[in-house]
Amino acid sequence: MLEFGKIFLTIVGLFFAIYLLLYSTYLFLSAMVGSLILYRNRHRNLMKNQIEHDFFVPVSIIVPAYNEEITVCHTVESLLGLDYKLYEIIVVDDGSKDETAKKLIERYHMIKTNRPIHRQIKCKNVKEIYETTDYKVPITLIRKENGGKSDSLNMGINASNFPYFICMDADSTLQIDSLKNIVRPVLEDESIVACGGIIRIANGATVRDGIVCEYHMPKNILVAMQVMEYDRSFLASRIFFDQFNGNLIISGAFGLFKKECVIECGGYDTNNLGEDFELVTKLHVFCRRHNYPYRIKYIPEAVCWTQAPDNLKDLCKQRKRWNVGLTQSMLKYKEMFINPKYGFVSFISYLYFLLYELLSPFLELFGLFTMYFAYKLDLLNVPYMILFFFIYAVYGGLLSVTTFLARVHVENLKISGKDILKAIFLAIFEITFLRFILVIVRFCSFFGRKKKTWGSIKRYNVEETN
């Protein structure tokens, strides 16, 4: 038994050494590439004169909403203040049980209309349509039967008048130049079918008229750890994947899509809880199957501010939903697994999400079980194990701090020394404490009933998130 245990632990140890080596290499490369590209872009923009053109791609902004009476008017108000000329705002109320629709109708003096909607993508039935043209751009409110976020987005696509659409959440705020920045690549490259913006956590930021007036690390420690997590993901991973057209996800909080292409591939999957991941992966598959020249871009200069869960219960619900959606999408498009037809998207992006996102809860919990097994057989070098985990935590924390400081520098944000010390401390705490909790949550998401419902967290007025 002891001899078998030694052989088993040797094999497992070799596997995890390779697993962690690959993950550490990926973290290092993504953090370095992301930081260098951000610095290069900022340096280039400072050194050259940018010529502003009066060319605008017409864009429909679709805002699906369910019980968003607290935030929806502020979101629409922020959209009206964007530095852009040719766009429309479409709010889709998915059978809200609160006063979401009433707040919008009263605030913007909207009039009920009988406007027909050509349903090119299947979605639930319309109840009422309200419109107003009294503001900078047209605003449309569609009240429909409850069908979920994906169904609401499909309705918005059907109702949209322009060739490109933006999907965003009803609790989000765009910076004043975000629409201009996310559209710019489309003017430069007609093969682009989707662009993703960067998501920032609004807790701790004061954003007025689309401009960041003040920023500090959130007082809530759980939210502050999410800031570090978001920066590592959006400022490292996605910039790295963007170098080879390999992004498999555009956040549902802020993304631009070519309507014609989305309609051709069937729109959003209403049975998938991760509609953002599913649609982007579907676009990769659709375009490759039909030899459609395409690019899916990530634009870190296009910034969207959104509220993050400020308590563990809401955070766990959010991450469980994300993981269920990831599982559904990975299984649905399993043809991408080690498939030369998809190139780097298959051998880097898909494999990364498979090994380090989808399967990581099983692998990490198995690793803990193995350590316990080794300890019981007196085959575990405890000091070495402690040193190993310490080095891993410090290494991961340094990379998180690097991306955090890169973001602060590039956006020219002014933060205090106290915030920097807080970021350094929480970077290590996040990669150990929070990561372990979320591993358990993601593991549990594979079991139990998968409810096809709107995800929700406690909402606040923007002034209350600081």
Q: Could you read off the pLDDT of 208-252 as tens digits, one per residue? A: 877 888 888 999 999 999 998 888 888 778 888 999 999 999 998
Report the mean per-residue pLDDT for the chain.
87
Question: Domain for residue 297, yes or no?
Answer: yes
Question: Domain for residue 161, yes or no?
Answer: no
The torsion region of residue 44 among left (phi > 0), alpha (psi -120 to 50) and beta comes to alpha
Question: Domain for residue 124, yes or no?
Answer: no
List the structure tokens of 44.
Answer: 């280039």
- Res. 54 pLDDT band, cuts 50 70 90: low
Q: Which range in 33-42, 148-157, 231-240 is most confidently predicted, on average pLDDT?
A: 148-157
Tell me if 47 sits within 8 A of 141, measured CB to CB.
Answer: no
Q: What percent of the chain is helix, strand and coil (3-state, nearest 5)?
A: 55, 15, 30
Structural domain for 235, as ranges: 1-48+171-466
Rounded to whole angstroms, the Cα distance separating 257 from 276 reads: 11
Predicted confidence (pLDDT) at residue 75 exceeds the cutoff of 80: yes
Q: How many domains does the chain have?
A: 1
Question: Domain for residue 43, yes or no?
Answer: yes
Q: What is the pTM of this model?
A: 0.89
Residue 131: which of 166, 88, 174 has the closest Cα? 88
Question: Domain for residue 274, yes or no?
Answer: yes
Give the N- to C-terminal CA distance of the chain in Å, as an integer. 58
Question: Domain for residue 145, yes or no?
Answer: no
Question: Domain for residue 68, yes or no?
Answer: no
Question: Domain for residue 147, yes or no?
Answer: no
Predicted local distance difference test score (pLDDT) of residue 248 = 95
Predicted local distance difference test score (pLDDT) of residue 27 = 77
Range with lowest mean pLDDT among 113-127, 172-186, 195-209, 279-293: 195-209
| Residue range 163-199, pLDDT digits in tens | 999 999 888 889 999 999 999 999 889 899 999 999 9
